[in-house]
Structure 1
Amino acid sequence: MGFEFIPYSDEQRKTYINAELVYRSYISKKKRYDKSFRYRMGWQKVKDKEYLFRECLDTKKRKSLGARSSETEAIYDSFHAQKAELKESIKETKTLLERQEKINKFTKISRVPNVLINLFRRLNELGLDDKVVVIGTNSLYAYEAYSGVFIENQHLATFDIDILNKRDKKVSIAFKEKIPNRTLKGILLEVDNTFKESDEALYRFVNKDEVVVELLTPMRIGSGNESFGGVREIILDGIKWIESSKLHKQLLIGDNGKCAFITTINPLEYAVYKKWLSTQTYREPIKRDRDMQQSYLVTKLIRDYMLTIDIESELKNIRNISKEAVEDYRQTVLNKR
């Protein structure tokens, strides 16, 4: 099968590198601010004395740091000075980022669906992007960006965006502590409030532009636990392979020029999984053919551009996919020139 990859121009490579540098700096500062200043500090009078307190913005719980003195005043002044300094630094970086977003569009390097970028940008800010994984055809955007090429449009995603929510007790707790009373579903609606639950499936959401987002939580952690992300658990054939696979994180740039780090499946495991999926007789023939094409396409990307991937070595170390599926991929895709 022949596939055409269009390499980035020198200008596009430079744009991508600069975009990643600026965006990484913005996210780093934003996370540092949220971690260090998730509480406020002030003075509280008790009888005839003033005490310095620190109050958590999430729980409203207060902790006394001692009576007013030169030491507690220094703590108070330092806290507010550092907070103001970092806040100003974030503001300056955000200005640079907005300028970079215009350059991204001008150099025609922006082409990922906005809803995907907007959702993951919010997850980036919350530090949850490693816990929510993009699956399906949209993964190809990550692989082409890593390779510094554009894949022919016909092989890229439809309006469906599949998101596998990686389930973990720690994640559920962290999520509630970080953004109380919100869920992954809530963040999706925060990004675009036109999303509505589909009548066909409760894990599927459709917005006014007919963009479909599927939030999947395949793992079970026992009865009595809320589904992390506020979406229904679903068991899909082969989904456990994806859920326990190696991850690949990549900066992507949306149609609107905005950036976000997207977490998806390791490209080699994606290629093996897609080959396996193409053999499943329950799938429609047109989808099976598309699965096969994507397996070949990603394999070619790995061979031609992802030179740090030792294919044979990594195939031997795949533990979450059956040996039969791996061998079938090796014989029918990898060894076919």
Structure 2
Amino acid sequence: MLTELNDDALRQYSDAKTAFLALYEAKKAAKEVRGSMFWREVGGVEYLIRANVSSAQKSLGRRTEETEAIYHSFVERKTFTSDRVSSLKETVLKHQRLNRALYVGHTPQIVIDLLNMLAEQGLMGFFTIVGTFALYAYETAAGVRIDNAGALATQDVDLLWHNGKRLQFFTHLNRTQERSMIRLLKKMDSSFQVDELDSGGYTATNNKAFQVDFIRAASRDGEPHPFAFSDDEDDLWPVPAKRAESLLSSPRLETVVVSVRGEMALMPTIYPYDFYKFKLWMATQHTRPEEKRRRDKTQAEVMLRMMKDYLPQYLPKDAPAETEG
């Protein structure tokens, strides 16, 4: 059911993860100094101007010792972060080649691309991976490979939206050039389109039948229902899901996952034991198709074994010896 990665692969993953996280933080620092600063003379007086990436400009005041210090600090930080990002990108590329050579990961490439796209747009903090694909994060954290193909058999990724942060989310989404979730997905893969499900919900599907499902907790009093991610009439609508509220309350676990090509991304998931309990509950839902219920139970069994043997820090003392049912 579980196969341990060899020592070479484990060492390589550790080194690659360190480099990737350093680049991740460097990119965040670089975003703080995006745009430019320059001096502009108006009526014989010089003013410090800050321009953002959209070319919007703001005066920071007349030229003084204070504004000169602001200007020099900005230039130094921008140069430093730019050089650091460039250097770390080269390092990460080297690790990608080693990851591929040593078979470090097997997370589907499209999931890596999706996670990195959301991170680049500043939106990953509003989503958590809660379905089958979370298993790639757990196996990576455990240093093992799940051998049971049935446990990983799916063509849709579930992203739980933190609708309690919807105002901050809308602000961040509107800062993107695309200003809608479906357009962002199309930027990653132009074949994505919005499809209506038989259940009445919506999903984004590409030409390889891979689906991106956005789910959310049921609306509380005073919250709009239903609602789309943006004003774009063709945009996606996050679909209410059972027990989503309890999943939102689970502590967030972030793991660097690796694709067969060696590329990396940071995947946010719920705590392993909460995933186990959720899958065990899903397996008892008789309105759910039988093949999915069997897969849910298999995933719960895999998760329990993984925690017992490799991730005991996430396993409560009163955890069951085996899955029930």
Task: Give TM-score, length-normalised by structure 1.
Answer: 0.84
Secondary structure of 2:113's partner? helix
* One-letter amino acid of the structure 1 residue matched with residue 216 of structure 2: T
Deviation of residue 59 (structure 1)? 7.8
Amino acid at match of 2:261: N
Quickly say closer, same or farther: Cα 1:140–1:83, change in 2 above 3 A. same
Q: Deviations over 1:61-98 (max 9, x none)?
A: 4033323x555444433422331222111111101111
2:37 match: secondary structure? strand
Deviates more, 1:145-154 or 1:198-207: 198-207
How has the CA–CA distance of structure 1 residues 306 and 61 changed in structure 2, closer, same or farther, with 3 Å as cutoff? Answer: same
- Give yes or no for contact 1:120–1:260 (8 Å, CA) kept in 2: yes
Change (3 A) 1:294 1:224: closer
Aligned pairs for 1:236-275 (under 5 A) are: 236-275=241-280
Paired letter, 1:130 = G
Q: Which of 230, 235, 239 is equivalent to 1:234?
A: 239
Equivalent position to 2:43, from 42, 47, 59: 47
Q: Which residue of 2 aligns with 1:31?
A: 28
Q: Which moved more, 1:212-221 or 1:47-56?
A: 212-221
Question: Where does 1:135-284 land on structure 2 (aligned, <5 Å)?
Answer: 135-154=130-149, 155-167=151-163, 168-176=165-173, 178-179=175-176, 182-200=179-197, 203-220=202-219, 222-223=223-224, 227-228=228-229, 230-284=235-289
Q: CA separation in 1, counterparts of 2:12 and 2:276?
A: 29
Q: Equivalents in 2 of 1:145, 1:281: separation in Å? A: 32
What amino acid does structure 2 have at the position aligned with 1:28?
Answer: E
Deviation at 1:104, TM superposition (A): 0.7
Question: Following TM superposition, by how much is the alpha carbon of 1:282 offset from its aligned partner in structure 2, in angstroms?
Answer: 0.4
Say which SS state the counterpart of residue 290 (structure 1) adopts: helix
CA–CA distance in structure 1, aligned partners of residues 92 and 182 of structure 2: 27
Distance in 2, matches of 1:219 and 1:236, equals 7
Task: Quote the residue 2:84 is aligned against.
Answer: 89
| 1:276-319 Cα distance to aligned partner (Å, 9 max, x none) | 11111101111111111111110111111112124136x7xxxx
Q: C-alpha distance in 1, partners of 2:322/2:59?
A: 64
The farther-off stretch of 221-230 and 277-286 is 221-230
Check whether the contact 1:217–1:231 (CA below 8 A) recurs between aligned residues. no
Call closer, same or farther: CA 1:225–1:180 in 2, change over 3 Å.
Answer: farther
Q: Distance in 2 between matches of 1:271 and 1:129?
A: 23
User: Partner of 1:255: helix, strand, or coil?
Assistant: coil
The secondary structure found in structure 1 opposite 2:185 is helix
Aligned CA distance change for structure 1 residues 181 and 159 (closer, same or farther; 3 Å):
closer
Structure 1 residues 61 and 265 mapped into 2: Cα distance closer, same or farther (>3 Å)? Answer: same
When normalised by structure 2's length, the TM-score is 0.87
Aligned to 2:56: 60
1:98 aligns with 2:99: no
Give, in angstroms, the shift of residue 252 of structure 1. Answer: 0.3
- Is contact 2:214-2:238 (8 Å) kept? no
SS at match of 1:53: strand
Q: CA separation of 1:215/1:285 partners in 2, compared to 1, >3 Å: closer, same or farther? A: same
User: Residues 309 and 15 from structure 1, CA distance in 2 versus in 1: closer, same or farther, beyond 3 angstroms?
Assistant: same
* In structure 2, C-alpha distance between the alignment counterparts of 1:312 and 1:104, rounded to whole Å: 36
Distance 2:321 2:3 in 1: 28
Give unmatched runs, 5+ long, in structure 1: 316-329
Partner residue of 1:333? 323
Deviation of the 1:180 alpha carbon: 5.8
Map of 1:20 onto structure 2: 17
Say if 1:217 and 1:228, in contact at 8 Å, map to a contact too.
no
Within-5 A mapping of 1:278-297: 278-297=283-302
**Structure 1 counterpart of 2:140, which letter?**
A
Q: Aligned in 2, Cα 1:332/1:86: closer, same or farther, shift over 3 Å? A: closer
CA RMSD of aligned residues (A): 2.6
Question: What is residue 7 of structure 2 aligned with on the other side?
Answer: 10
How far 1:231 sits from its partner (Å)? 2.5
Report the alpha carbon displacement of residue 151 of structure 1 after superposing the two structures with TM: 0.5
Measure, in 2, the Cα distance between the counterparts of 1:331 and 1:12: 30
- Alignment map for 1:107-122 (pairs within 5 Å): 107-122=102-117
> What SS does the aligned partner of 2:260 have?
coil
Matched residue type, 1:197? V
Instruction: Please identify, of 168-177 and 112-121, the stretch whose mean Cα deviation from structure 2 is larger.
Output: 168-177
When structure 1 is superposed on structure 2, of 168-177 and 203-212 the one drifting more is 168-177
